[in-house]
């Protein structure tokens, strides 16, 4: 049996629009039979944080950071035209009108289609993020070496 | 005859500086004999909108969106140091002084060199963009599957 | 002897967080035996500017640009949560606490591990940046054709 073609994505950004682009590409690739992995790092970790509850981290600075940088797919905003939330609200409404799945639904779909969602251990260490800060669809935690191992075998690698 | 090496670009951003980087890479690759395609999605569609006329879309929200998010290569601004337009104006002047082509000219050059310019149908659907919103150099409209088809054969893929 | 696998990065951005991501990936790849090159263009040139002294460029506009766009690894700020420098200061402190090297140290490490650091001649021409504006770790200056030559042989190419 021929091996599946790979696609690797580094999700660096925590903006709603960039996350949507990443997950639309990832789910489309999976539906075309590709083997997809997304490596979440820096602000990108916000995309896969749980939407509920608070994040328990140690030390005053990390507690503060995780308050102002709360994350969760339902809290993300557009990188442009957020306009105090109005632009983001409008974009979500326009997507619904043309029956596009929400980011939250895309993450679940991606997981069900076998897309690997991996959280960057280094950023988690710096930001004080425990493993239970992330939603259940996240398959594992790993470092940059894991990402490079995937990238060197991939047909395409995207830094989003 | 050997097949040409491919380069694929996803143009997600609608900033002048990122668009310039994309088109300089695209035209250089074409001049080196590579087969280049650029897939415009989200804010990136602003790069290939017509500079003249208004965009006719249906529904109040889409009409509003296409007013504030007008686009067109001559209206784009820098992602940094725009400074109410002064930074963007300065950058264009500096480029002219060293005889660099403008973004508008680069788009025409790219088209003449055979670079494929493709607009993302999904974003066009969400934003209510009709086909005639785009300039004549745009060769077709297609979805993420088209982009992935190109990316899996490409020597390099860039997400800009 | 088998040839080394290549990784190529275009560093377009001059944000501290994006530069850190790029150099962590680059040094990890080098430690895994990959042949890595980083091509600095547009705001990315700020990452490799000297931290000391002033930049000598010709003409009023270029002098002004290089004053407001000073650059240098120690002056870069986060793309998000900079908060007048407080967020950037906090991030540096958090990195130190978990014994992560600073950006400045990562650049030196990358150079010692053989990562090629290349400044884009085209942007240098537009912005009026002389060769001595860059730190000693920068190995050469070249154009987009050089980058594409590396990218077409690379296992992965990232646009950061």
**How buried is C23 (Cβ within 10 angstroms: 0-12 exposed, 13-18 middle, 19+ buried)?**
buried
Nearest one of B95, B97, B51, B57 to B76, comparing CA atoms = B51
Chain A contact probe: residue of B13, B39, B144, B160 with most A CBs at under 10 A: B144
CA distances from A55 to A15, A45, A90, A127, C98 (A): 20, 13, 29, 11, 19
Question: Looking at chain A, which subunits does it touch, using at least 3 CB pairs closer than 8 Å as the criterion?
Answer: B, C
Q: What is the DSSP letter of C22?
A: H
Q: Can you tell me the distance from the alpha carbon of B152 to that of B76, in angstroms, rounded to the nearest whole number?
A: 31
Chain A closest-CA separation from residue B142 CA (Å): 13
ipTM for the whole complex: 0.95
Secondary structure E strands in chain B: 6-11, 35-40, 116-120, 140-142, 156-159
From chain B, pick out residues whose CB is under 8 angstroms from the CB of C43. 17, 79-80
pLDDT for B1 beyond 60: no
B63 interface with A at CB cutoff 8 Å:
no
Note down pLDDT in tens along chain C; length 160 residues.
Answer: 568 999 999 999 999 999 999 999 999 999 999 999 999 999 999 999 999 988 999 899 999 999 999 999 999 999 998 888 999 999 999 999 999 999 999 999 999 999 999 999 999 999 999 999 999 999 999 999 999 999 999 999 999 9
For residue B7, what are the β-bridge partners? B36, B156
pLDDT at C2: 67
**Whether B21 and C14 lie within 8 Å, measured CB to CB:** no
Considering only CB atoms, C21 lies closest to which of A12, A151, A154, namely A12
Task: Give pLDDT < 50 ranges for chain A.
Answer: none
Q: How many CB contacts within 8 angstroms connect chain A with chain B?
A: 63
pLDDT at A81: 87
**Whether C80 and A125 lie within 8 Å, measured CB to CB:** no
pLDDT at C3: 82
Question: Taking the model in full, what pTM does it have?
Answer: 0.96
3-state helix, strand, coil in chain A (%, to 5): 45, 15, 35
Q: What is the pLDDT of residues B19-77, one digit of tens each?
A: 999 999 999 999 999 999 999 999 999 999 999 988 999 899 999 999 999 999 999 99
End-to-end CA distance of chain B: 32
pLDDT at A84: 87
Q: What is the DSSP letter of A100?
A: P
From chain C, pick out residues whose CB is under 8 angstroms from the CB of A6. none
**Whether B61 and A7 lie within 8 Å, measured CB to CB:** no
C55 interface with B at CB cutoff 8 Å:
no
A25 interface with C at CB cutoff 8 Å:
no
Helices (H), A1-160: 16-31, 60-68, 86-97, 103-112, 121-127, 144-151
DSSP line for A23-45 = HHHHHHHHHTT-EEEEEE-GGGG
pLDDT at A90: 94
**CB < 8 Å from C in window 87-106 of A:** none
Contact status, residue C14 vs residue C88, Cβ threshold 8 Å: no
Sequence-distant (6+) residues with CB within 8 A of A22 are A9, A11, A38, A158, A160
Q: What is the DSSP letter of C142?
A: E
Give the helix/strand (H/E) hosting C146.
Answer: helix C144-151
Give the helix/strand (H/E) hosting A128.
Answer: none
Sequence-distant (6+) residues with CB within 8 A of A80 are A17, A87, B14, B43
pLDDT at B2: 67
Q: What is the pLDDT of residues B61-113, one digit of tens each?
A: 999 999 999 999 999 999 998 888 999 999 999 999 999 999 999 999 999 99
C60 interface with B at CB cutoff 8 Å:
no
Q: What is the DSSP letter of C32?
A: T
With cut-offs at 50, 70 and 90, classify the pLDDT of residue B135. Answer: very high
Sequence-distant (6+) residues with CB within 8 A of B149 are none
Q: Map residue A80 onto helix, strand or coil.
A: coil
**Whether B94 and C151 lie within 8 Å, measured CB to CB:** no
From chain B, pick out residues whose CB is under 8 angstroms from the CB of A100. 122, 126
């Amino acid at each position: 049996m021929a091996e599946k073609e790979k696609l690797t994505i580094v999700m660096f950004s925590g903006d709603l629009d960039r996350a949507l682009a990443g997950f639309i590409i990832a789910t489309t690739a999976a539906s075309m039979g590709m083997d997809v992995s997304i490596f979440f790092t820096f602000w990108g970790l916000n995309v896969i944080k749980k939407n509920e509850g608070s994040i328990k981290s140690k030390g005053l600075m990390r507690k503060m950071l995780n308050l102002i940088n709360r994350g969760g797919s339902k809290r993300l905003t557009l990188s442009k035209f957020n306009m105090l939330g109005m632009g983001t609200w409008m974009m979500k409404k326009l997507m619904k009108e043309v029956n596009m799945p929400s980011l939250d639904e895309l993450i679940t779909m991606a997981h069900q289609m076998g897309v690997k969602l991996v959280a960057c251990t280094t950023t988690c260490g710096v930001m004080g993020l425990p493993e239970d800060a992330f939603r259940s669809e996240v398959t594992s935690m790993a470092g940059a070496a894991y990402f490079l191992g995937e990238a060197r075998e991939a047909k395409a690698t995207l830094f989003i």
